Amino acid sequence: MANDKNPIAQQDPELWKAFVAEQDRQQNTLELIASENHVSPAVMAAAGSLFTNKYAEGYPGRRYYGGCENMDTVERLAIDRAKSLFNCEHVNVQPHSGSQANQAVLLAAMNPGSQFGEAEQREKAPDAPVRTPGDMILSLHLDHGGHLSHGKNVNISGKWFRVTHYRVDRETGRINMSEVRALAKECKPKLIITGASAYSRIWEWDKFAEIAREVGALLMADIAHIAGMVAVGLHPSPVAVSDFVTTTTHKTLRGPRGGITMCKEAWAKKIDSAVFPGLQGGPLMHSIAAKAAAFGEALRPEFKAYQQLVLDNAKALAESLVAKGLHLVSGGTDNHLMLVDLRKGYPSVTGAMAEAWLGQAGIVVNKNMIPYDERKPMETSGLRIGTPALSTRGMGGDEMRKVAGLIDRALASAGDANALGKIRGEVLDLCKQFPLHTH
Ligand SMILES: *Cc1c(COP(=O)(O)O)cnc(C)c1O
């Protein structure tokens, strides 16, 4: 990508500088952010293509603009491939992001209102008129691995709906299904949301479906992080037992930034009108072309081998970190990510300090709240670490063991610039051995 013949280099040197710097950063650092990946050259080409020029409001065969015949071809390909990949009855490939894929479900299935019940409204503002309480969502708490779009009070999902959260068990770090059942019986949710951004264990979709049936709730699975593993059968699929399944396309699925919303046929019309015209205008056709390209890749046997490598690498990395004396929430991982609990092992190091030190060493991770964290969200006591991006570079078990050692040394450095500089050199060597071929 970054070569001097690029039109951006020719016409906008100021902007081009950032492209060159970013290519250098991606090529020469170890990307361990669990939600990130490197797309293939084909997906990259589709994302930066002439499909960006076209308006295509509506759906294949029913557009509000002329000249959409090639848009229809591309969107139908994306739809058909997503259906084969996930075995779903209906899919909408237009959501611009994972959050919007989730909003489509809320708009299609839920009645908005006050985020508080009547009694709580009276207590908070005795003189204000009581508003209709919004429908209830039951979802995983953000600090326990959930996502903003699952009912956080600063997000539209938490402002327009009432929310109850289930949590992970303090001892095991795993979701306690009997607590989920008890909460569901108590709060009577309209919608139960499963899925997470920082949960390293297998989801028991069948048990959630049973609980949803018991309390008459709809069930939604947000597989944003684990979609790649679900697609190839290396994580159980929630599709058969859920009313809705949403995902981002840019995490383990290794496609362009974006989302999709899947649902049972009975919800197809409502989901489609929720995405357009409910939430969005024209679809990002270049992104949908890139989704089609990525889904095509995901249907090939090599993609299953890649997902297996992601899993094997996560296991190897987790075991090596534990062997170095680090503690992981729930003790390990069944998927592509792990959460380091710094309180044990490095009690004086916050997630923010760890993120900064590792960054100086060329190891990119994100600080993360851990369950029952006493520190604030800008500090945290945790680090979230994932293997999708390093696996895309072709790294394996030996490299994971090396990376675990580098991480542990960076945490033990107390921020010493010399120690971090030495690690940075070793990171560069590793990156040179496993160059990115994706841009
Ligand atoms: C990443 C993520 C999303 C949101 O994706 P955006 O594209 O950033 O809006 C939604 N849900 C979960 C569980 C996620 O991890």
Extents of the domains making up the chain: 46-298, 302-433
pLDDT tens digits, one per residue of 324-382: 999 999 999 999 999 999 999 999 999 999 999 999 999 999 999 999 999 999 999 99
- Res 439 pLDDT > 60: no
**Does the annotation count 257 as an active-site position?**
yes
Predicted confidence at residue 34, as pLDDT, reads 98
In angstroms and rounded to an integer, the radius of gyration of the C-alpha atoms of the chain is 22
The fraction of the chain above a pLDDT of 70, given in percent, is 99
Query: Which atom of ligand 1 approaches the CA of 257 most closely?
Result: 7
Q: Which two tokens stand for residue 197?
A: 């951004």
Q: What is the number of residues in the chain?
A: 439
Q: Rounded distance, CA 362 to CA 360, Å?
A: 5
| Angle separating helix axes 397-412 and 417-433, nearest 10 degrees | 170
Q: Give dist(CA 259, CA 155) in Å, integer.
A: 18
| Nearest CA, atom 4, ligand 1 | 98
How many Å is the maximal CA-CA distance in the chain?
Answer: 68
* Cα-to-centroid distance, 191 and ligand 1 (Å): 18
Ligand 1: nearest atom to the Cα of 223: 13
306 catalytically annotated: no
Is 222 known to be catalytic?
Answer: yes
Q: How many CB atoms lie within 10 A of CB 360?
A: 17
Ligand 1 — pocket residues by CB below 6 A?
35, 97-99, 147, 149, 195-197, 222, 224-225, 248, 259
CATH of 46-298, one of 1.20.120.520, 3.40.50.300, 3.30.70.260, 3.40.640.10: 3.40.640.10
Q: pTM for this structure? A: 0.97
Q: What's the average model confidence in pLDDT over 139-153?
A: 96
Q: How far is the CA of 248 from the centre of ligand 1 (A)?
A: 6
* Predicted confidence band of residue 4 (pLDDT cuts 50, 70, 90): confident
From the candidate CATH numbers 3.90.1150.10, 3.40.190.10, 1.25.40.80, 3.40.50.10440, the one assigned to the domain spanning 302-433? 3.90.1150.10
Pairing between β-strand 244-248 and β-strand 218-222 as defined by DSSP bridges: parallel
Residue 1: pLDDT over 80: no
Query: Is residue 167's pLDDT more than 70?
Result: yes
- C-alpha neighbours within 13 Å on the C-beta side of residue 399: 25
pLDDT of residue 287: 98
Output the residue whose Cα is nearest ligand 1's atom 6. Answer: 98
In a mutational test of the pocket of ligand 1, which residue from 148, 197, 246, 251 has the highest number of ligand atoms less than 8 Å from its CB? 197
Residue 18 makes CB contacts below 8 A (sequence gap 6+) with none
The first and second tokens of residue 28, run together, are 């020469």
Catalytic residue among 247, 248, 249, 392: 248
CB 3, CB 358: distance < 8 Å: no
Ligand 1 mean position, distance from CA 373 (Å): 22
